[in-house]
Amino acid sequence: MNAPKPSHARWRKSTYSGAHENECVEVADLNERIAIRDSKTPGAGHLTLSRQGFAALLAHLTSKP
């Protein structure tokens, strides 16, 4: 698989981030995977999930009250 390295990926604010400026999550499309990081500390690392894993995470988070 030829996934871009997260350091060269195009990060964008997730549409699932809260409306508050201090609660931003950024995501990057790495072809077969999705990378997730905290916009306040982008150098602190990131989480990489398969597309299926990312979809499952979103489904779980949006099902919570």
Cβ–Cβ under 8 Å, residues 46 and 33 = no
Q: Please provide the DSSP assignment of 19-59 as one string.
A: SSTTS-EEEEEETTEEEEEETT-GGG--EEEEHHHHHHHHH
- Report the distance separating Cα 20 and Cα 7, nearest Å: 26
**pTM of the prediction?**
0.73
pLDDT given for residue 40 in this prediction: 85
* 13 neighbors 28 (Cβ within 8 angstroms): no
What 3-state class would DSSP assign to 8? Answer: helix
Per-position pLDDT tens, the chain of length 65:
445 555 678 998 877 666 666 668 899 999 999 999 988 888 898 999 999 999 999 899 888 77
Which pLDDT score, from 0 to 100, does residue 7 have?
61
Domain range summary for the chain, segments of one domain joined by +: 6-62
Q: Residue 1 has what pLDDT? A: 45
